[in-house]
Amino acid sequence: MGRAPCCDKASVKKGPWSPEEDAQLKEYIEKHGTGGNWIALPPKAGLRRCGKSCRLRWLNYLRPNIKHGEFSQDEDRIICSLFANIGSRWSIIAAQLPGRTDNDIKNYWNTKLKKKLIGMAPFPSFQKRTHRATNYPSVSLFQTSKSSSAYSSPSPALPSTSSAYNCSNYNDLNTPARSLTGYEIMSIPSSLSISTSASNSTVLQAQDGFVKDSLLVFGAEASCSSSDGSCNNLISQSKELECHEFRVSNGELMGLQSSLYSGIDQNQKFLSNVVGVNGFTDEKPNGVYGETPLDYSLEEIKQLISTNICNNLNFFVDENKEEEKFLYY
């Protein structure tokens, strides 16, 4: 026996909301508030709608300061950054984009942004593959999924690592090491250096002159969506941080895969915190990340990371599809 429905489905109206219904709901909530009980609201407001439907309509469309229309590059960047770190937690992502709703962001991601990213992906690892890629630096862009077959049953080609810090000597650039957290760790030979290009893209540069943009950049400007402008101070800190994302281990430069670090915005702080959770915190100056732009405390973020870090991404490759087996080669 299933759960009791939240309302009498036979007597409630479904489908698109009419302007009259919108006005009715808006007027009622503006006068009386929601009363903390959506189920009880429709009859009080004179609506033949399910309470959940009213809630959704209010949250996604009627409440004040809802922003519709084109997403900015900043917003794109924030969405991608957060998706890369916490996956499809649309409500959390929406909380970082004032005026945007989770539904909006979800739709935008599913219909446009994902395709946009696929189109601009610089590496085979970022795109769906139909063949085994060779001769690319292992800078595939996003986290891996612990639930994926490749992770749960590591290929013999993949070195087993117990942490981000003891994996070294992986000269095979096609073989990313992996931390237990689900981050991919990339091993970068000491012949390569890392710098930030004029366009804020992090660049791998080899002594022999080989230069490869390693990271995807969402917009070239270090712009800021902060309303109070406080993020301006973060620019230098963020650039400094980029250096902290790499460390030398056994003569090799080890880097935490940080495809989205090229973006410099409030969200950058979030990402920094995320990485800090994984062990880099001790190298960061105290207090730099004391303020999180999120409504979540650091502890809550840690919780989020620990519970979700392994459950996201591979968003271009369905876990059950054939292509995924190539993802880490």
Partner DNA sequence: AAATACCCCAACCGCCATGTC
Partner DNA sequence: CGACATGGCGGTTGGGGTATT
- The footprint of DNA (CB under 7 A) covers 2-4, 6, 9, 13-17, 34, 36-40, 50-53, 55-57, 60-61, 68, 88-92, 102-104, 106-108, 110-112, 115
The amino acid sitting at 193 is: S
What is the maximum span of the chain, computed from C-alpha positions, in angstroms?
A: 74
Alpha-carbon distance 255 to 243, whole Å?
9
The two three-digit tokens of residue 293, written as one number: 């732009």
Q: What is the closest distance, in whole angstroms, from the C-beta atom of residue 274 to DNA in the complex?
A: 16
Question: Which residue's CB is nearer to DNA, number 164 or number 294?
Answer: 294
The two three-digit tokens of residue 70, written as one number: 């084109």
Q: What is the closest distance, in whole angstroms, from the C-beta atom of residue 58 to DNA in the complex?
A: 10
Question: Which residue's CB is nearer to DNA, number 106 or number 325?
Answer: 106
Question: Which residue's CB is nearer to DNA, number 90 or number 280?
Answer: 90
Angle, CA 221 vertex, CA 218 and CA 226 arms, to 5°: 90
Question: Which residue's CB is nearer to DNA, number 71 or number 123?
Answer: 71
Quick one: which H or E segment has residue 19?
helix 19-32
Question: Which residue's CB is nearer to DNA, number 38 or number 123?
Answer: 38
Q: What is the closest distance, in whole angstroms, from the C-beta atom of residue 12 to DNA in the complex?
A: 8
Q: What is the closest distance, in whole angstroms, from the C-beta atom of residue 62 to DNA in the complex?
A: 9
Nearest to 219 by CA among 3, 73, 85, 46: 73
Quick one: which H or E segment has residue 303?
helix 298-308
Angle, CA 138 vertex, CA 132 and CA 139 arms, to 5°: 120
The two three-digit tokens of residue 16, written as one number: 């698109």
Nearest to 260 by CA among 309, 217, 293: 217
Q: What is the closest distance, in whole angstroms, from the C-beta atom of residue 13 to DNA in the complex?
A: 7
Nearest to 178 by CA among 254, 248, 103: 254
Alpha-carbon distance 270 to 273, whole Å?
5
Question: Which residue's CB is nearer to DNA, number 196 or number 311?
Answer: 311
Question: Which residue's CB is nearer to DNA, number 84 or number 192?
Answer: 84
Question: Which residue's CB is nearer to DNA, number 107 or number 207?
Answer: 107
Question: Which residue's CB is nearer to DNA, number 52 or number 284?
Answer: 52
Nearest to 81 by CA among 318, 328, 254, 312: 312
Q: What is the closest distance, in whole angstroms, from the C-beta atom of residue 112 to DNA in the complex?
A: 5
- Order the strands of the 184-188 sheet from edge to edge: 177-178, 184-188, 252-256, 246-249
Alpha-carbon distance 111 to 61, whole Å?
19
SS3 117: helix
Alpha-carbon distance 45 to 48, whole Å?
9
Q: What is the closest distance, in whole angstroms, from the C-beta atom of residue 61 to DNA in the complex?
A: 5
Q: What is the closest distance, in whole angstroms, from the C-beta atom of residue 266 to DNA in the complex?
A: 19
Q: What is the closest distance, in whole angstroms, from the C-beta atom of residue 215 to DNA in the complex?
A: 25
